[in-house]
């Protein structure tokens, strides 16, 4: 296991490792910036995520791509969710 998280690890250990993963990802992105075409004039950081829209889009993505539902147990997936919503727990 990459993150040294076992089934008996405490929730604190799991949360700490997920936070480290998010911080490492942010640092990696900062070191390797990508140029993206801006699709609209508004600042995307000003637009809050709509939970219902995100849920529907995510379900459609899982179904269309035939993604296995057990991915929710992976720490990388938890890190993504925590990044999208810091109040997830």
Confidence check: pLDDT of 82 > 80: yes
Using alpha carbons, list the distances in angstroms from residue 17 to 5, 10, 72.
8, 11, 16
11-25, 34-48, 57-71, 74-88: lowest mean pLDDT where? 34-48
Grade residue 70 by pLDDT with cuts at 50, 70 and 90: confident
The C-alpha angle with vertex 34 and arms to 15 and 41, in degrees rounded to 5, equals 95
pLDDT, position 56: 81
Q: How far apart are CA 76 and CA 25, in angstroms?
A: 10
pTM of the model: 0.45
15-60 per-position pLDDT tens digit = 787 778 778 878 877 887 776 655 555 555 566 777 777 778 888 8
What residues does each domain of the chain span?
A: 11-84
């Amino acid at each position: 296991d990459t993150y040294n998280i076992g089934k008996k690890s405490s929730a604190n250990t799991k949360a700490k490792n997920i936070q480290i993963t998010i911080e490492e990802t942010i640092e990696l992105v900062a070191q390797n910036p990508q140029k993206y075409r801006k699709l609209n004039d508004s600042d995307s950081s000003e637009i809050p995520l709509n939970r219902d829209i995100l849920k529907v889009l995510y379900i459609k993505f899982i179904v269309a791509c035939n993604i296995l539902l057990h991915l929710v147990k992976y720490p990388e997936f938890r890190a993504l969710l925590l990044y999208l919503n810091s109040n997830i727990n």
